[in-house]
Structure 1
Amino acid sequence: MSARATTAEAAAPRTGVPEAAAPSAASAAVPNAEATGRRVEEVLDRLAQRDDREASAAAEELVRVLMDFYGAGLARIMHLMGSATGDDGPRPALLRDELVTSLLVLHDLHPEDTATRIGRALDSVRRQHPAEIAEFDADTGTLRLRAADSGGCGCPSTSQQAQQAVEAAVSCFAPEVTSMGWEAAGERAEPALLQISRRPPTAATAS
C-alpha cells in the first residue's frame, strides 16, 4: 500500500458528521485530519508532476516513516492507558516510556523539565549501567556524567557499553542534551559530542 493510500485512510473522517456541517470555533483551531490528508496528497502530487521519481519516492517514504512513528506512539499510549493500575492512573507509566516521552518532547508538551527527564533516563538503565549527573548546563545543552560504582570488572569494553547505553537513554528522554562528557571520581573530562540536533524551540529546561 502506498503512502498516499495510507495517508488518505488515516485522514478519512470516521465521526459520521456531514461534510456540510460548519465547524465550531473550537474545532476550527485544531488541525483537521481530512484537510491535512488532502494537503499531503497535494504536495505529493506536485512532486510527481515534476517527473522526479527519486524526489517523489523520498517524499512518500518520509510520509510512511512519520506515520509509522506517530502510529507506534499512539498505540503505546493506548496500551499504557488501558493497562494502568494504581491511584495515579496512566501518567507515571506514560512519563517513563521512551517513545511517549520523545513524542511529548518533540512537540514541547512534556510536563517535566530537562533535569527530571535526565534523571528518568539514568533510572531506566541504572540497574545495569549506574551513572549520576555531575553537571548540566541547560543553556548549552552540555551534560557531564559520572560513572557510579557497579561492582563490575571495570574493563574498557564493559565501560564503553555502559556509556553507550546511558547516552542512548538520555537521547530518548532528553533530546535537548546536545553533548555529553564523562568523568571519573576526582577528574573532569571535556564533553564529547553526543548528537547535534535542533533543540525544541521552547523545551522545558532545568531551573
Structure 2
Amino acid sequence: MSGALDAERAGRRVEEILDRLAASGDRTACEAADELVRVLMEFYGAGLARTVELLGREPGGPAAGALDALLADDLVASLLVLHGLHPHDAATRIARALEGLPQPVENTGFDPATGELRLRPAASGGCGCGGSRDAVEESARDALACLAPEVTKVVLEDDTAGEPVLLQIGAGPPETTGAGGRPPARTTR
C-alpha cells in the first residue's frame, strides 16, 4: 500500500501549502492557489477518465487486463475514487479494502446515509491474538480511506457469535430422560 501512502502524503502536503498561504493573509494568492489546484484536479481527472474509457472499450480484450492491473494498484485506484471514476461500487471497494487487514473482519453492514460501516472480527484458525480493538478499527479506517471515502465511521462490534460453547462433561453415563426432556421421576417404596 505504499502508493496509497504516497497519495496521502501528497494530499497532506498540498493542504499544508494552502494553509501556509492562508496564514500569510494574502487573499489574492489564496484564491489563485485554490483555482490552480482545482484546474489541475480537473485536468488530471479528465486524463484519467480518458484512460479508463480507452482501456474499457474492449471488454475481455487485452486492455481489460491492463484495467484490472490499474484497479489493483492502490495509488491508481485511490485516484480513480478521488475523481469519481472507479468502476466498482462502494460494496466492492469496501470488500477489497478489508481484504488486506492484518486481522480478518466481517462486514456486517454499511449505511450510506450516515457513512457508518459495522465490522465484526472474523472467526480464524489462528491463535486469537489479532491485536487490540482500537488497532483493528484504525487499520480498517486507514485501508478504507483511499478506496472507500464514503465510509466515515468504522464500528467494531463484539464477537459474541464466534465464542465456543461451553460443553458440560458429567461423571457418569447420561440418564434416560422422561417426558419433556426431564429426568424420570424417582419413586420410593
TM-score (norm 1): 0.46
TM-score by length of 2: 0.50
Q: Whose radius of gyration is greater, 1 or 2?
A: 2
